[in-house]
Amino acid sequence: MRTLTLNFTGLGFLVPFEVVSFRWAWGGLVCSLFSDQAQAALLAVVALNLVGSASGWAAILTAQAVPRILLIVVGGVAADRLHLQAILRVGNALQALALVSIAALDHIGVLSVPDLYAFAVVYGALAAFTAPAADALIPSLLPPELVRRGNALRSLALNVGRFLGPPAVTTLLVVAGATVALVGVAALCAAAALSFGQVTAGGRQQRAAEPLFDQARAGLTVAASQPLVGVPILMLVIFNVGYSGATFVGLPALARLELGAGAQGVGLLLGSLGAGALVGAVTMLLISSIPRVGCFACLAIATVGLGLVGAGMAHSLWTVATCLAVAGLGISCAAVALLTIVQVHAPVETRGRVLALWSLAFTGLTPLSYALAGLVGERLGAHGIILLGGVCVLGAAGFGLLSRPMRQLA
């Protein structure tokens, strides 16, 4: 059995910044990731004010997820054939334009639910192109020995955005109104586009050598034949069915509709989840090794599930926030551990295709999760959405523990 050690040391984190293009790229990623987290919280409040129900907000999220799923393969091809920084620059500029359009409609008082659906479709389609490009950008700019550290810095930026983005944008919403908040998020997208424009490509992009169908089939073959590749991916699928609906539908509805905490309550809950994830990310960056990493990954996912179950049973805003901080801690630990398992055990010649399946697992069943959350919310309310989401996440942990290769992985 191969021994898998997660080696992360804090002393070398700043080394990638010696590469000028990486500094610009990281700045663009920070602005882009921060805007994504802020946009999720802001649109939740705006949409709930218009539709007044969890199921209505779930439908808008579904409209955003569907084009991303349908176009993600095309986005991957674009990342192979076009300049990555150009995709990111244009994508973020168009996102900024879409947000400004929504802000203008809100300013003149004519913003409607169909406008939010249109925005969701546009945003989801753009994300199908920018997400693969962002994943491929760091390896194209750094030498192989620095790629892990570059990814660690990106992960840190993501979790800082999760922690600060929702509370900041919802506070701005309360103080200055939705129009100003929307323009503020658009400014972050524009800053990301400008930063990516300063990036110099690390290498010429290569054209795909095989048809898309053959590439996808090769990745599926590896996942089906190697448990330490397929099991983590299936765990992520099960996890996503419960987590996405609980987080992006249940939490805003709980704060806004059941706890009466308003926009700032939405920001507090999502920010608490991000705070726990930030602590987890820093922990995983500093830790030197993890024995029995397969069991560790399963237990980290179980921590997420228990945190969500606790949040679903709590009736105090601060108690819910505490439970979500625990869940966030588990999210970062599980993400690093599971992704490392897949990367190490996927054959080098098919690693890219396998990781494409990993990325798809994050989004493939998201519309189903949103739809289920909407149905559950109509019958059991926001507490029910979060509670059942936590049970589903616990199911993902149990599925992983049933796998002997995962349990025995050193």
Query: Tens digit of pLDDT for each residue in 41-62?
Result: 888 888 888 877 767 777 888 8
**C-alpha span between 172 and 342 (Å, rounded):** 40
What was the pLDDT predicted at 402? 93
Element (H, E) at 210: none
**C-alpha span between 148 and 6 (Å, rounded):** 11
Mean predicted confidence (pLDDT) in 86-109: 91
Is 339's pLDDT higher than 80?
Answer: no
pLDDT digit string (tens) for 136-188?
A: 777 777 776 666 667 677 777 777 776 777 778 888 888 888 889 889 989 99
State what percent of residues in the chain have pLDDT above 90.
19
User: Taking a C-beta distance cutoff of 8 angstroms, is the pair 29, 88 a contact?
Assistant: no
Distances (CA, A) of 36 to 87, 162, 248: 17, 9, 13
What was the pLDDT predicted at 59? 81
Is 104's pLDDT higher than 70?
Answer: yes
Is 9's pLDDT higher than 50?
Answer: no
**C-alpha span between 317 and 384 (Å, rounded):** 16
pTM of the shown model: 0.69
The residue to which tokens 């054939």 are assigned: 81
| Confidence band, pLDDT 50/70/90 cuts, at residue 204 | very low
∠ CA 258-260-266, nearest 5°, is 90
Q: Where are the alpha helices (DSSP H) in 82-143?
A: 84-107, 113-141
Mean predicted confidence (pLDDT) in 306-321: 90
What was the pLDDT predicted at 10? 42
Mean predicted confidence (pLDDT) in 325-334: 90
